[in-house]
Amino acid sequence: MLKRSLFKFSISNAFRRRGIAIFSICGTALGIALMVVLLSISDGMDARMNDVFTDLAGGIDVYPAGQMVPSAIGFPLSYAEQIEGIEHVEAVQPAVLSFISSDYADFGDREGVTMRGVNVEEDAVLGGATTHIIEGSIISTDNEIIIGSGLISGSGMGMGRGGVPGGIGDQFEVGDTITVPIPGGEDITLTVVGIFETGNMVTDGYIYSNMETSRSLVPTIAADEVNYIHVEADSADNVEAVATDIETTFADSSVPVSYT
């Protein structure tokens, strides 16, 4: 009985100043709601970052030794076949990397954006960017490109030259074009045919094309060459061993390799 009386007294006393009580309750509820939202956002960001670092942990990027990335020189495409034969290698994707300067398109505060020229059929088998189209269509011919959602939203982590993260620039849409001059040749007009989103903030900061299109921006790379190979190890525990084997395999080749 005493406990019930004390409880009724507490409730009635709390609402003696009804306005203040209601304001306090609303403030507390708002604070709780805000914390829930912030925690949800934080969990989402953590999940995305975990996905990025999980992808990076098993990956090895191979390129010509002593060269900047993207490199102006290439190595034989046959390097990819040799790498496939190395123990603990799970997947190999050769590519031709080129660079589109912000002089030709507004990429925000970036100096430019790396374009990754891939074999579209092989990329589809590996579940790459070309299989994550969220708007438009896949690349079907030369001079067509797909743009990562990070270049539109500003959330991508793709790096400009010098490793500088870029910010949001033009709001690229399907059908837009980018005209890029070719060293010693005519201009090339690239048409945006699709927007992709992989969920990986690094990948979503790139532009993709087929190999021929990207190679046309780097005329020093021959038709049977690439300047980049992405390698996936079968386990994060085997990455270092695979990377060492790759470097050793090509140490005495005409174009030795480095890796990151």
Each residue of 100-144: pLDDT tens digit? Answer: 999 999 887 778 999 999 999 999 999 999 999 999 999 999 999
133: which strand partners?
196
As given in the structure block, the two tokens for residue 253 are 């080749």
Check: CB of residue 189 under 8 Å from CB of residue 179.
yes
As given in the structure block, the two tokens for residue 145 are 């490109």
Rounding to the nearest 10 degrees, give the CA dihedral for residues 115, 193, 157, 38: -170
Nearest to 137 by CA among 93, 191, 188, 179: 191
Mean pLDDT by 10 residues, the chain (260 residues): 54 58 59 52 42 58 95 97 97 97 85 96 95 97 96 58 45 92 89 96 95 96 97 96 98 96
**How many residues can be counted in the chain?**
260
End-to-end CA distance of the chain: 74
DSSP 133-150: EEEE----STTEEEEETH
Give the type of residue at 37: V
Q: Which one-letter DSSP state was computed for residue 256?
A: -
Determine whether 117 is exposed, middle or buried from the number of CB atoms within 10 Å of its CB (0-12, 13-18, 19+). Answer: buried
Q: Which pLDDT belongs to residue 171?
A: 73
**Mean pLDDT score of the chain, rounded to an integer?**
82
Q: Would residue 257 be called left, alpha or beta, if left means φ above 0 and alpha means ψ between -120 and 50 degrees? A: beta
Q: Which pLDDT belongs to residue 56?
A: 47
Q: Which pLDDT belongs to residue 162?
A: 37
As given in the structure block, the two tokens for residue 79 are 């390097």
SS3 call for 3: helix
pTM: predicted TM-score of the whole model, two decimal places = 0.75
Give the C-alpha separation, 225 to 236, whole Å. 28
Could you tell me the CA-to-CA distances from 230 to 60, 155, 226 in Å, in that order? 6, 23, 11
